[in-house]
Structure 1
């Protein structure tokens, strides 16, 4: 019964690995199970890989595994796909969630089937996420992917690990790859997401960095306070009671006896002629004597020397998703989302090229049959201020409320799109200018009454055929309303 359950659904797999005994063994097992192998080999073939649901990495060594994992996790298209790592033995230097499941030899087809079944919850969560908007910059897409990765793997907390190769001494290698940044710099990007309210943080450590090169590799050393040389020696001091002269012990030694360098008298008895009150620092370079050495910092990367108080302190945080981050991950929304992007999540919006062609046909139909239609161009002039005041979550909430208001007054035959200038375009079929004006006024009145924050609307209405005689005339009239 268990075997039948494991074989219920077929999964598409892409195998990456260098040819060898381990690779051949995995290929043989994959040929025995119910699944589709979309590609295999040491190189990632994107045309085949993008059709695979699950990736398997076969690696003999840790460095080989890291190369394959980096190639997959750094891919903007493939970075979220579930991943199984297969190695001869446990690799201590690589851990979850760099991979989703790890298998070691000996490997049976039953173990592999169980592993594939165990990845289905991740697959199901990933399938619920809508595609990202074309208007997003690459970093915006990567940031959403990072949030989706954390959410789909149900990571309750993300804790950076110590990393001597990172400039800040800590890193999250898998996050660095997802974000497409150098080692350790993903933490800086995640702190920026925390500032935006997408991640919640808890302080893990504080690291001192060089103020010039921003690297943690700093040597804290004691130096001469006069010349800054590290060539110092701590020696005992002698105080001559008679003349009150105090100096390093070495300056009193003469032919195995203590002779005061100031008055020339021989010192015989400690506690009677002299005392040893403490120690001082003597510099071998400049010869100066000081009560204490001075602490100086030397950057081992760039060689910059600076006092400790000038060190740049960086807080290393552990992270977890905020409620806003979960919404952003599920809906694919980012602070860089345009008005069209946000409304696309809630409304059935027509792409502008299609809308424009449909509009041309509607103009011809209206002129032929003398059946009017109206085109409303609606702009929200204070949208950027809304986000600055209420944040991304507030903007999303307000626009969703606007969508509900629009849905109240629009018919199923009416079309909605966006102009290249990010304005809402509403095509009201068989509606003259009077009806269009009525709809807009109701929309404005309802918005002012319902919305928590007022939108600053600007609108313009053109009616065909009463105002525009052809498509070019319609475009001209719309432009005049700007």
Structure 2
């Protein structure tokens, strides 16, 4: 029989600050990992100790995805790998753990995460506000690291920044708050750069500020010391005596002199010199990298529920629902728009559906029953369309249907069928799902220079 309450273990101080809940207490990490099979962990250690302990726990397959709360001050590693401070009411841990366990059962249709991307997606899926957080670390060449990717890597060699960019391009992850912007060496990728002033003529490092004078008579410019002869100012070139600044001479803007080539200049050039490989670069030639947090995107949530086990013939589709991913759908829609813009034929139609009160339905029915209802609705809707039509579920609320060779009359027939199918499926539910529609037919409704992304955004406004 499945348990209804979690086993809770505490690492650190005694349980006096957690009244009313049963705890297994451990004084050190070794005893916890050697004797415990807890469902929820409380780490009652100072931040500088809690961070390394949490990292070790996440490396342990038993606690890779578990709820782990840090009870004292949290260092950046605690924030990146933990679940925050424990609830103010210790009794709230049980319902949180039940929700966690329910979501674990929904992930990947019950299959355990095996590949690296599945483990990362599972960790984020199990937390409603889960993020892949960047942590600043001066000890690494690129100044930032992603602790979650490190502990879930299983000693795999992963280029964290490239992997995050790939997942973002696929639509599984979306960019969060911008944390920093780095300049990196184009040779080795290091961010350890020293910016030095150099001569713009010969790029020598040995330059210095030096006052100079400009003779109006012959135009000669030189160091001020060369004009001083026995206490008076004489131009070393034409030997004119310089009495009045502004009429005989002035001080030019050139304030620097290169001790290597003797050039005078106003502003020095700047070189970015890599402290790791020694290469020099012009600052505008450096690689620019933005450091961001990342979170699970809508397409990633759908992937977590529908599964990762699609075969090679169906690798870019979501499970049994057979939906195109966002980018593939946008490419197909762009192609259709280009055809009708050029040839005005054949016509095609696009229909958007939004399940307006989906969140209310999930709240009342529970996550598992609610999502089962939505999946049934999507499958019923697909029965109403043809094999040649293409679908895309951009979020859990929004579905798009692309219908080639379908004019406005055919679009109206499909729309009525979809409305009837939705009404039959949701009839009798405590909270019927409201379906809102937006329709488009090309070339009649087509606007000049409007691409697929702009079209979906325009129609999305009608969906609300």
Same fold (TM over 0.5): yes
Q: Deviations over 1:192-247 (max 9, x none)?
A: 21122211236725321011221222222211234433331233432111112122
1:121–1:397 distance in 2 versus 1, CA, 3 Å: closer
The alpha carbon displacement at 1:82 in A equals 0.1
Alignment of 1:289-304 (within 5 A): 289-304=264-279
Distance 1:237 1:252 in 2: 9
Matched, 1:41 2:16: no
| 1:183 to partner: Cα distance | 12
Matches within 5 A, 1:420-435: none
Alpha-carbon distance in 2 for matches of 1:227, 1:181: 47
Of residues 43, 56, 63 in structure 2, which corresponds to 1:57? 43
Alignment of 1:328-367 (within 5 A): 328-333=303-308, 337=309, 339=311
Q: SS at the partner of 2:239?
A: coil
CA distance in 2, matches of 1:396, 1:282: 73
Distance 1:70 1:156 in 2: 17
Instruction: State the match for 1:102 in structure 2.
Output: 85
TM-score, normalized by length of structure 2?
0.59
Q: Check if 1:122 corresponds to 2:100.
A: yes
Q: 1:36 to 1:241 in 2, by over 3 A?
A: closer
Q: Do structure 1's residue 198 and structure 2's residue 172 form an aligned pair?
A: yes
Q: Tell me the distance in 2 between the aligned counterparts of 1:183 and 1:78.
A: 22
Deviation at 1:281, TM superposition (A): 2.2
Distance 1:223 1:93 in 2: 39
Question: Would the aligned equivalents of 1:15 and 1:41 in 2 still touch at CA under 8 Å?
Answer: no
Separation in 2 of the partners of 1:122 and 1:214?
A: 39
Conserved? CA contact 1:16–1:55, under 8 Å = yes
For residues 275 and 200 of structure 1, do their structure 2 counterparts lie closer, same or farther at Cα, with a shift above 3 Å needed?
same
One of 66, 75, 81 as aligned partner of 1:81: 66
Alignment of 1:150-165 (within 5 A): 150-155=124-129, 160=134, 162-165=136-139
Written as runs of structure 1 = structure 2, the 5 A alignment for 1:28-427 is: 35=22, 37=24, 41-43=28-30, 48-49=35-36, 51-59=37-45, 61-87=46-72, 90-91=73-74, 93=76, 96=79, 98-102=81-85, 112-115=90-93, 117-129=95-107, 130-132=109-111, 136=114, 140=115, 142-155=116-129, 160=134, 162-179=136-153, 186-201=160-175, 204=178, 205-333=180-308, 337=309, 339=311, 383-384=312-313, 386-387=314-315, 391-393=316-318, 397-398=321-322
Q: Is the 8 A contact 1:126 1:152 kept in 2?
A: yes
The CA distance in 2 between the partners of 1:399 and 1:307, in whole Å, is: 47
- Distance, in Å, in 2 between the alignment partners of 1:302 and 1:241 is 48
- The question of whether the paired residues in 1 share the 8 Å contact of 2:210 and 2:257 is answered with yes
User: For residues 402-436 of structure 1, what are the alpha-carbon distances to aligned partners after superposition, in whole Å with 9 as ceiling and x for unaligned?
Assistant: xxxxxxxxxxxxxxxxxxxxxxxxxxxxxxxxxxx
1:56–1:84 Cα contact (<8 Å) kept: yes
Say whether the 8 Å CA contact 1:167–1:216 is kept in structure 2: yes
2:336 matched residue in structure 1? none
- Contact kept, 8 Å, 1:166 with 1:184, in 2: the verdict is no
Match of 2:7 in 1: 12
Q: CA RMSD in A?
A: 3.9
Q: How many residues align?
A: 327
Distance 2:296 2:76 in 1: 26
* CA distance in 1: counterparts of 2:162 and 2:171, whole angstroms: 14
Q: Could you tell me whether the CA contact under 8 Å between 1:16 and 1:43 is conserved in 2?
A: no
Work out the CA distance in 1 between the residues paired with 2:228 and 2:81: 66
Distance in 1, matches of 2:322 and 2:95, equals: 41
**2:181 and 2:288 in contact (8 A); partners too:** yes
Mapped to 1, the partners of 2:47 and 2:120 lie a distance apart of 24
Q: Distance in 1 between matches of 2:258 and 2:159?
A: 41
Change (3 A) 1:183 1:259: farther
Alpha-carbon spacing, 1:165–1:265, altered in 2? closer, same or farther (3 Å): same
Runs of 5+ consecutive residues of structure 2 not aligned to the other structure: 325-382, 391-464
The TM-score with structure 1 as length reference comes to 0.57
- Classify 1:183/1:91 alpha carbon distance in 2 versus 1 (closer, same or farther; 3 Å): farther
The separation in 2 between residues aligned to 1:65 and 1:190, in whole angstroms, is: 26
State the Cα distance separating 1:185 from its structure 2 match. Answer: 5.3
CA-to-partner distance for each residue in 1:282-330, whole Å, 9 max, x for gaps? 1234544345321100123333222223311223344332222112223
